[in-house]
Structure formats: C-alpha cells, structure tokens
C-alpha cells in the first residue's frame, strides 16, 4: 500500500518537481518541454496503474500539455503561467457549485484512491476549494508582478504547500474511512 501511495504521488507531482529542478539548470523553455513530456509519461503510467479512466489526472495533464506546448511553440511564458490561474479558478468554481448543491464533486475524481464517508468527502471538498481559491489569487498576483524566473520560485513554494496539504488529507481519510478500506482510508482493490 505504501508503494501505491508513493506511485500515486509520483504520478501527481513528479512532472512538476522535475520542471522545478530543470528550471534551475536549464532555460525556462527547455524546462517547460521536460514538464510536458513527463506529464504525458505520467498520464500513461497513471492509466496503466489504475486500470480505469480518472478524470482529475486527465484534466490536469491536458491543461499542462496544451499550455506547455503553447509556451514552447510560441516562446511565451504567459501560457504556462496563466494555466494555474485558470485551472485553480475553474476548479474552485466547480467545487463551490457542488457544495451549493450539496454534492462532493471530488468524490468521482478521487473515488479510486479514497474510501470515505460522505462527511469526509464534504470536508475534503471544502478544504480543496479554499486552497484552490488561495492558489488562484496568489498566481494572479505573481503573474502580473514578477518575472517568469521568479514565478518558478513562487511555483516551487506553492507546489511544496500543495504536496504537504495533499499529504495532510490522509489524516482526514483515516478519520472518515469506510469499513473495508485500509487504515488510512485508501481504497483496497482486490
């Protein structure tokens, strides 16, 4: 099970971490190219590992591939940077609508990973909504006020925050787990 968690986190965060590291040693556009290529590899690996279609990684991956490709082809950092504002803002709005209608829209996206009560899904949705709102505002401030190289530093900080935040959610999944799941509320596939 630990291997499954590590693999899922690698698929989720591996490409962005590689981008951030590559940005230290390469120019911005080659680093974005690495980001796009590793995102494609992560999407394929995730599909093989899950053996079923997962919307969340697909949406994330496609947004990176499109914005990253536009960035590299047009030699304009705007596209990869604005992606975070659009992506986080749209997810925040979708989750807010779901909360308004008393539906956890994260449940269909993460049901392959977590096995939690409806209360757990609602709490998870509220937490991610708040994070997406903060990330949207922060990225937009960064986009208009700092250089692309400085944005990579900002992106490093927000990625670390997101990783820690994601790991913290396992505490919730443990508390709100359903019977038949692992002690950490991870869905057990037989």
Give per-residue pLDDT as tens, 30-57: 999 999 999 999 999 888 887 767 777 7
Render pLDDT for 131-186 as a digit per residue (tens, 0 to 9). Answer: 999 999 999 999 999 999 999 999 999 999 998 998 899 899 888 888 877 777 77
**Per-residue pLDDT for 85 more than 90?**
yes
Domain extents in the chain: 2-175
**Residue whose tokens read 């990579």:** 152
190 vs 68, residue with greater confidence:
68
Q: Is the pTM of this model over 0.75?
A: yes
- Distance between CA atoms of 9 and 113, rounded to whole angstroms? 11
* Confidence at residue 112, expressed as pLDDT on a 0 to 100 scale: 67
**Per-residue pLDDT for 188 more than 70?**
no
The torsion angle over the Cα atoms of residues 56, 157, 77 and 27, rounded to 10 degrees, is -120
**Residue whose tokens read 């499109």:** 66
Confidence of residue 1 (pLDDT cuts 50, 70, 90): low
Radius of gyration of the chain (CA): 17
Residue 18, phi then psi, degrees to nearest 5: -60, -40
Render pLDDT for 89-131 as a digit per residue (tens, 0 to 9). Answer: 999 999 999 999 999 888 887 766 778 889 999 999 999 999 9
Euclidean distance between the first and the last CA atom of the chain, given in angstroms as a whole number:
12
**Per-residue pLDDT for 60 more than 60?**
yes
Identify whether the C-beta of residue 127 lies closer than 8 Å to the C-beta of residue 167.
Answer: no
* Confidence at residue 152, expressed as pLDDT on a 0 to 100 scale: 95
* Confidence at residue 185, expressed as pLDDT on a 0 to 100 scale: 72
């Amino acid at each position: 099970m630990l291997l499954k968690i590590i693999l899922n986190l690698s698929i989720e965060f591996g490409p962005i971490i590689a981008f951030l590291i590559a940005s230290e040693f390469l120019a911005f556009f080659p680093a974005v190219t690495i980001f796009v290529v590793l995102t494609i590899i992560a999407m394929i690996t995730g599909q093989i590992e899950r053996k079923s279609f997962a919307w969340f990684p697909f949406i994330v991956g496609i947004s990176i591939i499109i914005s990253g490709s536009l960035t590299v082809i047009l030699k304009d950092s705007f596209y990869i940077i604005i992606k975070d504002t659009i992506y986080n803002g749209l997810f925040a709005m979708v989750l807010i609508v779901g909360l308004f209608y008393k539906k956890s829209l994260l449940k269909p996206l993460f049901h392959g990973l977590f096995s939690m009560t409806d209360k757990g899904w609602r709490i998870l949705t509220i937490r991610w909504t708040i994070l997406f709102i903060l990330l949207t505002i922060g990225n937009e401030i960064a986009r208009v006020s700092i250089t692309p190289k400085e944005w990579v530093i900002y992106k490093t900080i927000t990625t670390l925050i997101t990783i820690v935040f994601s790991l913290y959610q396992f505490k919730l999944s443990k508390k709100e787990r359903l019977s038949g799941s692992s002690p950490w509320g991870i869905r057990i596939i037989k």
